[in-house]
């Protein structure tokens, strides 16, 4: 069996991806096919003795889509740039077209040569020339619309296609009559309607494409959390391997600064691991023999060996990616209603337009009047609001939420948000900054706070311990320079020691006091810091404690104000409800 990933063009909804997936899985020679709407690709596992890439691409074409060849991110990036440039060009053209066709209606100055009454032929020709590029730009919409009509499954593209083609046909007829001297047909031109309908449909798809690109980027960033390579121990020797070479039961080596390659269990050593991308907890977890490790975690300061347990699709990261992809394929209830309505709406509008056209002819109206009414119904009923308003509202809402740090897992959440009466906050990274910071400094020395922190920060800058970053961040935020450190020593599990300006400074936890026989006379302050959730750092100089420093995940500046505002809002809503 061989695997291939193809880049797919033409998928606009989950129904498209589901339909293609089902069609591919029915084909002889394909053992499994998985189509991803968000990534716009199809993973196909097939028997290479029966099929090849060209035959699979033919299956994709038969299903109504187009294969763009092997999935390559570089090619997609180029396509995204081209799409953006095209959209900008047609946005400018749309403004020009609207100015020429409707500028006079709102009193905008227009050149005499383009005046519809003084120079109708030039005016009409100009509109046609400006409209033709839009027909080319929206050819895929017109093609899909007609194809679906032929297959007896009309959709939004079908209504757009009929409306655009009818508008163009009648406009060309009116143009012919204008050139034959009947200038009153100048009022019956719909060139700009056909062009702008295409433009707005493309606008909706462009915005939707931006949303999908952001989702793809988020998924790719998740995938990048795990390293590409790892070190495996085989017969006592270390070997560098790629991630897909790791098998269950392999012993994987992790050194300070490495990322954990796969989910597993520690069999040797201990280390502090940053698992914040999973747990949200800012404090690195102290892991030792027998404890589990998660792929993507960062090893701060220790040497460990762990047994590979969950690899590939079984890993925690793969499960998260799967959930994110599934979430992107969900629809809000209102969007589902729009899809259902459009299934009846499209054929109903076509039927109404045809009946109206025939009725006008039977009632004795001129053919031009009947045709005008027919086109008007199609153009006016063109489902811009139905096809664009709902997804556009969802995309804009999700974008605004993302800008404010709110992750919307499913689109239906946006509809249900109006019913919210209780908010539960996650502490780490939400009410707090999500990183360790210096929260409290108790200074017993004659040094100024800035001088004390400069000494401690200079020592911590030499350390790899996660708490050390709180001090280096403090120096950066307060623009304090580091001092020269001599005879630096990292006392594993206890703290650090070094000489600054020829004086020995000891920084560490309570255990380091016992090692260097330092008497602790500040137990009351120690208890107070602990009760407030701080990790305590002891600073010792000349065998005497000169400071206790509390390190914690600090509450954000405006947290109290936000909670107060929400409580006030709840009170007002409850009061309004009771009234």
Query: Which residues are known catalytic residues?
Result: 426
CA–CA separation, 286 and 265 (whole Å): 14
CA–CA separation, 104 and 112 (whole Å): 11
Distance of CA 49 to the CA centre of its chain: 39
The packing angle between helices 120-137 and 73-102, to 10°, is 160
CB 286 within 8 A of CB 467: no
Sheet holding 285-287, edge to edge: 285-287, 271-274, 298-299
Most distant CA atoms of the chain, gap in Å: 111
Single out the residue of 238, 263, 256 nearest to residue 298, CA to CA.
Answer: 256
> Could you tell me whether strands 304-310 and 263-269 are parallel, antiparallel, or unpaired per DSSP bridges?
antiparallel
Distance of CA 461 to the CA centre of its chain: 35
Residues in CB range of 84: below 8 A, 6 or more apart:
none
Q: Is 342 exposed, middle or buried (0-12, 13-18, 19+ CB in 10 A)?
A: middle
* CB atoms closer than 10 angstroms to residue 529: 22
CA–CA separation, 141 and 157 (whole Å): 6
CA–CA separation, 460 and 488 (whole Å): 10
* CB atoms closer than 10 angstroms to residue 474: 20
CB 35 within 8 A of CB 42: yes
Q: 293-315 burial, b for 16+ CB within 10 Å, e for fewer?
A: bbbbbbbbbbebbbbbbbbeeeb
Helix (H, G, I), strand (E, B) or coil at 414: helix
Provide long-range contacts, Cβ within 8 A and 24+ apart, for 506-513.
506/538, 506/539, 506/540, 506/541, 507/456, 507/459, 507/460, 507/537, 507/538, 507/539, 507/540, 508/537, 508/538, 509/535, 509/536, 509/537, 509/538, 510/536, 510/538, 512/538, 512/540, 513/538, 513/540, 513/545
- φ, ψ for residue 3 (rounded to 5)? -110, 145
CB 287 within 8 A of CB 272: yes
What distances in angstroms separate CA 203 from CA 10, 138, 197, 207, 332, one per listed residue?
Answer: 16, 11, 10, 6, 21
CB 459 within 8 A of CB 470: no
> Could you tell me whether strands 41-46 and 2-9 are parallel, antiparallel, or unpaired per DSSP bridges?
antiparallel
């Amino acid at each position: 069996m061989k695997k291939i990933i193809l880049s797919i063009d033409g998928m606009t909804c989950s129904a498209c991806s589901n339909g293609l997936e089902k069609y591919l899985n029915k084909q002889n020679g394909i053992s499994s096919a998985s189509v991803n709407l968000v990534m716009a690709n199809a993973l196909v596992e097939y028997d290479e003795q029966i099929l090849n890439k060209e035959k699979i691409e033919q299956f994709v074409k038969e299903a109504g889509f187009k294969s763009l060849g092997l999935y390559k991110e570089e090619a997609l990036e180029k396509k995204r740039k081209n799409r953006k440039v095209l959209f900008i060009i047609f946005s400018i053209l749309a403004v020009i077209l609207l100015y020429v066709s409707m500028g006079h209606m709102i009193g905008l100055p227009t050149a005499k040569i383009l005046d519809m009454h003084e120079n109708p032929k030039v005016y009409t020709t100009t509109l046609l020339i400006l409209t033709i590029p839009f027909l080319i730009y929206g050819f895929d919409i017109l093609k899909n619309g007609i194809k679906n009509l032929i297959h007896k499954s009309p959709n939004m593209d079908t209504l757009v296609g009929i409306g655009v083609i009818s508008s163009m046909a009648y406009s060309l007829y009116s143009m012919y009559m204008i050139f034959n001297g009947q200038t009153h047909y100048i009022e019956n031109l719909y060139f700009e309607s056909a062009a702008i309908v295409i433009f707005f449909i493309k606008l909706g798809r462009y915005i939707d494409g931006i949303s999908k690109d952001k989702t793809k980027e988020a998924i790719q960033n998740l995938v990048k959390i795990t390293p590409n390579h790892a070190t495996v121990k085989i017969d006592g020797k270390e070997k560098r391997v790629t991630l897909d070479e790791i098998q269950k039961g392999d012993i994987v080596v992790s050194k300070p600064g490495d990322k954990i390659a796969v989910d597993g269990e520690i069999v040797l050593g201990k280390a502090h691991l940053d698992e914040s991308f999973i747990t949200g907890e800012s404090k690195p977890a102290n892991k030792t023999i027998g404890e589990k490790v998660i792929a993507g975690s960062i090893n701060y300061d220790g040497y460990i060996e762990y047994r590979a347990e969950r690899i590939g699709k079984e890993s925690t990261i793969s499960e998260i990616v799967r959930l994110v992809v599934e979430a992107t394929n969900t629809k809000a209830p209102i969007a589902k209603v729009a899809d259902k309505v459009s299934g009846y709406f499209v054929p109903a509008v076509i039927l109404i337009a045809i009946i109206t056209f025939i009725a006008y002819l039977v009632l004795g109206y001129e053919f031009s009047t009947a045709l005008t009414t027919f086109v008007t119904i199609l153009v006016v009923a063109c489902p811009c609001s139905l096809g664009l308003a709902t997804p556009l509202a969802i995309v804009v809402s999700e974008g605004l939420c993302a800008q404010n740090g709110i992750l919307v897992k499913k689109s239906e959440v946006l509809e249900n948000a109006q019913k919210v009466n209780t908010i539960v906050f996650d502490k780490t990274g939400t009410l707090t900054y999500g990183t360790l910071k210096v929260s409290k400094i108790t200074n017993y020395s004659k040094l100024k706070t800035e001088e004390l922190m400069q000494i401690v920060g200079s020592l911590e800058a030499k350390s790899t311990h996660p708490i050390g970053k709180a001090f280096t961040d403090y120096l950066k935020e307060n623009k304090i320079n580091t001092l020269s450190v001599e005879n630096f020593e990292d006392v594993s599990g206890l703290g650090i020691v070094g000489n600054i300006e020829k004086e020995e400074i000891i920084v560490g936890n309570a255990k380091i006091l016992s090692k260097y026989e330092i008497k602790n006379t500040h137990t009351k302050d120690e208890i107070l810091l602990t009760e407030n959730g701080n990790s305590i750092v002891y600073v010792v100089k000349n065998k005497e404690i000169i400071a206790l420093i509390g390190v914690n995940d600090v509450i954000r500046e405006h947290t109290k104000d936000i909670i107060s505002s929400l409580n006030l809002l709840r009170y007002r809503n409850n009061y309004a409800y009771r009234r």
